[in-house]
Structure 1
């Protein structure tokens, strides 16, 4: 009997001793983005930007090793749900980072947040989760989808473009882009063209633009769609000013090159943004990956810094979800874009810029800041979020 009691006591002591060791298990972060098909460059920028941040953090957060588990959503909502369930149930990740596209986010949002796992989007920011459906397990390090397009609507209005043609893909982010553009633009929309997602032939739309002769073209065509649109636009000899979001950026410029020079964009950042942390990031990214980083990479880098700030705030103990949520909401890190804080809905309050494509002296292409359009700007849906 005494021997049994002794072993029971020893087991109890061992269980106490094991607890701190368990607390030092790896922090696991799942990164779910599109890394195949025409939009692969976008997801690769997220992976690279996130990986660079983890490297710069020494591979640790609050003294705990970090393991990143990458998955490709293949731009298929049903497949993305299967992939994210694998991250949650097999890999038991503490955070999910992703995705690129809003239709994928709409598919994975509930499985992740219902599991009380933190989902942080480094790109997609649909209106659907910015208002009444805001969630303490969901954060966005990019913007609410409308906002980047609001920049271009305001620019079109301020520059006196009286007739504008709108060309976007037919999915949530495309519809959000049109809504955003129209917030400040009060002129005539001569046509709204909604193409199937991953359209690569724009000859019908370019023929319409030629016949309607608008003052400007507003378009949102990310990834391979943007590459083809810009090339076909130049081949058609079109001269209508182009105001775009994500159509010409650092993920597409290596393929578009001179055809994109002079085209305008809207963004919350550009590689030439003048602050010390951004200069260091751009130099390190180019050295590591050979290309110029875009907003996808920047926002992914910031996402890693955001997670690190929360992990440090709770001293590595992720068991108290309320404490982790509160720490994420504080966003106590130095963003590459400079000014950054979260609104009550978990979407950022930040500055927005008009950008323009330029060719650098070294032959590389990048977007550059032309002017600041909005300062310290939050989205219009936050008022409907019950969180304070």
Structure 2
């Protein structure tokens, strides 16, 4: 089964919930009243070059719900999806529809940081819970944090602090750094430089969704760095890595990346990416029981390996499952629901998981290599990365 079947599956889920309500009203079911489904809004980038990332988030979220019989916390749920098209204004329109027309009490997803920056305040100001499963711009982890926002991913700087630490651990003295020119790209370079102890030969920012990197690759080669560090999510990563390989660089000039070669882009890159090293919060081979069953179920449902975007969204669904169970599906007491979320009483596919005071995770990062496996190119987590220097945005967040 692949993601193209999801609209039909979601329609069946809605029909199933409706049938259950009708049966309960007619006295056919064993109880006299059925609980109304809780509406959950999903906002993600589901089209364009970044569409694979948001689709992975949506697929994993729906998988968790289906594993629990169409429920979270024992309560029926209805997921209303919105495609932000990687456009902040479209994201705001989507959030407005969910808040004003659908009256959702919970929104999840959000793939790119420029969209998150546009919708975070409208949603949290409305006292609607926003459970982010990817984008983590630095401001909302620090001074602009909100009691109504929780993340199951990372703050952008933290993701790349791990990358900077990895480059340092590998002994590279002169790094060439490249990133897309938007909030997450700027956070990427900031985070990388915080933990990288060597010399930055050059830092280059390219246009979001730029298809051709030939000029930048020529400039890169002329600089003669020891290694290259890049942040190009989604289709940007596919284009960059293909052109890096075509230029004869992959295999001769070490490539380290974050959110560039992962489960969402590897199906397109295949063996072209073999030899690259990544820093990541997740890999399909992580050795814990929750991850093993998740990978098996995800592959069976969608016929592809889960990416970190899928893993983080699966965690978001299970976080909601644990919190809704603690409040018996009653969202009337927002403080009680927030307290239940803060407990993070669920098994994460990433391993150990808890929330810092800014409601971003304390969770591990790993060196993940792209290797040739028995079924083609695959991602293998090697060793944990111990981040030595942190921005500590939690200290800037007024919440306690």
Match of 1:76 in 2: 87
Match of 1:296 in 2: 309
Aligned: 1:141 with 2:152 = yes
Deviations 1:259-311 (A, max 9, x none): 10111111112100001111110011000000000100011011001111111
Q: Is the 8 A contact 1:267 1:355 kept in 2?
A: yes
Q: CA RMSD, aligned part only?
A: 1.7
Aligned to 1:129, the other structure's residue is in SS state: helix
Deviations 1:231-282 (A, max 9, x none): 0001111121011001100100011111101111111121000011111100
Match of 1:324 in 2: 337
TM-score (normalised: structure 1): 0.92
Shift of 1:158: 2.3
Q: 1:245 aligns with which of 255, 258, 262?
A: 258
Match of 2:187 in 1: 176
Q: Distance in 1 between matches of 2:54 and 2:323?
A: 24
Unaligned runs of 5+ in 1: 1-19
After superposition, the Cα gap between the structure-2 partners of 1:21 and 1:168, relative to the gap in structure 1 and judged at 3 Å, is farther
After superposing the two structures, state which structure 1 stretch, 45-54 or 89-98, moved more. Answer: 89-98
After superposition, the Cα gap between the structure-2 partners of 1:159 and 1:63, relative to the gap in structure 1 and judged at 3 Å, is closer
Deviations 1:311-344 (A, max 9, x none): 1111111011111111111111111111000000
After superposing the two structures, state which structure 1 stretch, 313-322 or 154-163, moved more. Answer: 154-163
Shift of 1:157: 1.6
Match of 2:393 in 1: 381
After superposition, the Cα gap between the structure-2 partners of 1:150 and 1:62, relative to the gap in structure 1 and judged at 3 Å, is closer
Deviations 1:69-113 (A, max 9, x none): 111000110111011111111111121112110000000011111
Shift of 1:64: 2.1
Q: Is the 8 A contact 2:73 2:320 kept in 1?
A: no
Q: Is the 8 A contact 2:58 2:109 kept in 1?
A: no
Equivalent runs, 1:1-388 vs 2, <5 Å: 24-238=35-249, 239-363=252-376, 365-374=377-386, 380-388=392-400
Q: Distance in 1 between matches of 2:49 and 2:178?
A: 18
Q: Is the 8 A contact 2:366 2:385 kept in 1?
A: yes
Shift of 1:136: 0.4
What count of residue pairs does the alignment treat as equivalent?
A: 368
Q: Distance in 2 between matches of 1:155 and 1:311?
A: 38
Runs of 4+, deviation exceeding 4 Å: 20-23, 375-379
Aligned to 2:386, the other structure's residue is in SS state: strand
Match of 1:17 in 2: none
After superposition, the Cα gap between the structure-2 partners of 1:22 and 1:80, relative to the gap in structure 1 and judged at 3 Å, is farther
After superposition, the Cα gap between the structure-2 partners of 1:285 and 1:378, relative to the gap in structure 1 and judged at 3 Å, is farther
Q: Distance in 2 between matches of 1:361 and 1:145?
A: 33
After superposition, the Cα gap between the structure-2 partners of 1:377 and 1:163, relative to the gap in structure 1 and judged at 3 Å, is closer
Q: Distance in 2 between matches of 1:250 and 1:63?
A: 30
